[in-house]
């Protein structure tokens, strides 16, 4: 998998009801399998609403190149 498929400024998020997962991938890479990021509903439920919300939000910010650099001072 190429890092540009994961660290990008545009994401597509899809909920897969059959597997109970949220699938995240860079825009334009929908055909890429497996998805760069899959979050299981079970995992999020175990965290609780507040912690799961914070974790998902922080994870997305870390994956968006411009946010990653400006908020966390990390380079791609």
Interval 27-69: pLDDT, tens: 765 555 556 788 999 999 999 999 999 999 998 888 888 888 8
Using alpha carbons only, give the angle 30, 75, 50 rounded to the nearest 5 degrees: 65
The answer on pLDDT for 5 being more than 60 is: no
Predicted TM-score (pTM) of the model is 0.69
pLDDT of residue 60: 85
| DSSP helix/strand/coil, 68 | helix
The domains of the chain are located at 3-72
């Amino acid at each position: 998998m190429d890092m540009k498929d994961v660290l990008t400024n545009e994401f597509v998020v899809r909920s897969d009801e059959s597997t109970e997962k949220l699938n995240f991938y860079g825009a334009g890479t929908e055909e890429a399998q497996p998805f760069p990021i899959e979050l299981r509903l079970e995992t999020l439920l175990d965290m609780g609403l507040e912690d799961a919300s914070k974790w998902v939000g922080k994870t997305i910010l870390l994956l968006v190149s411009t946010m990653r650099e400006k908020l966390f001072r990390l380079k791609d």
